[in-house]
Copies of this chain bind each other. A is one copy, B any other.
């Protein structure tokens, strides 16, 4: 990086908010700003607002565009990274949006676009839980299961838009319905949504389970923490839910290890707040079942540490 190009701009584009950060040469976010996405507007208007928000943040921090090296955006959905196009993003209501071309009308910087899960993975490798490593698979356990892959400190994109959809690989073909139209995807077993679904089922099946007490008899009160709380108090039904959840998560992780064999596997999302209660049994499972066993390198599963900042730092770091 040229000395006077000290900063990078990272943008985390979401269905609700557009988060913008200015990242310094030590990979720290030194200033940030957030605006509402307001997805009902045209993409042109949203991108114009995005540009204005960037200039607002630069002005507020006294940094000029000339001091910036690059700008990167992490977007949900299928991304054509080569052409800077959002091919399809359900929660933005976007199809074939030429995001970078549109943004370049306002901002004259080298730009890159990738999927938000990819950016988060890169952020963790650049300055987060995996900063000692070059290769990582990151799995985000939220409403769905997102996947990001970093090889040699760069995002691995695959060939075309629609790749690295790790959550949409079946682990039990013909099993639970997945929003992608298939049955049995990793996401349909390992997302927080799936955990809540299985906890509700267990509560119904076992009326005497502590799960029913913890949710005050209302299944709608069950969240991703409920089964862990009940299991820690010894509840049999909850323990079974957690055991199965960890087994399926382990299966999906091993699949990714057998394909990518990364230095480390990162987990993010609210479920990871369970810490070693989640990662210890996962690591035991992986040690046991990875292809070639101890003859090959077996990565450790660890928690991501940057939270929401990962996406901004990763986005800002896409261009060398």
Contacts and interface: CB of A to CB of B under 8 A. Distances in A.
Interface of A: 78, 87-88, 95, 134-135, 151, 158-166, 168-174, 180-182, 184, 247-248, 251, 254-255, 257-263, 288-293, 295-297, 299
Contacts of A248: 173
Given A135-B158, A261-B162, A289 B88 contact: no
A292 B87 contact: yes
A115 to B, nearest CB: 12
Contacts of A173: 171-172, 247-248, 251
Contacts of A182: 254, 289
Q: How many copies of the polypeptide does the oligomer hold?
A: 2
30 contacts: A78-B291, A78-B292, A78-B296, A88-B292, A88-B296, A95-B295, A151-B158, A158-B259, A158-B260, A159-B261, A159-B262, A160-B261, A161-B297, A162-B258, A162-B261, A162-B290, A162-B296, A162-B297, A163-B257, A163-B261, A164-B259, A164-B261, A166-B258, A169-B258, A169-B259, A170-B255, A172-B173, A172-B184, A173-B248, A181-B293
Contacts of A260: 158-159, 163
A289 to B, nearest CB: 5
Contacts of A263: 159-160
Contacts of A171: 170-173
A257 B168 CA distance: 10
Given A135-B158, A165-B258, A182-B254, 9 more contacts: A135-B159, A159-B261, A160-B261, A160-B296, A162-B295, A163-B259, A169-B255, A171-B171, A182-B289
A94 B181 CA distance: 44
Contacts of A170: 171, 251, 254-255
A159 B163 contact: no
Nearest 7 pairs between A and B by C-beta?
A162-B296, A163-B261, A135-B159, A169-B255, A160-B297, A160-B261, A165-B258
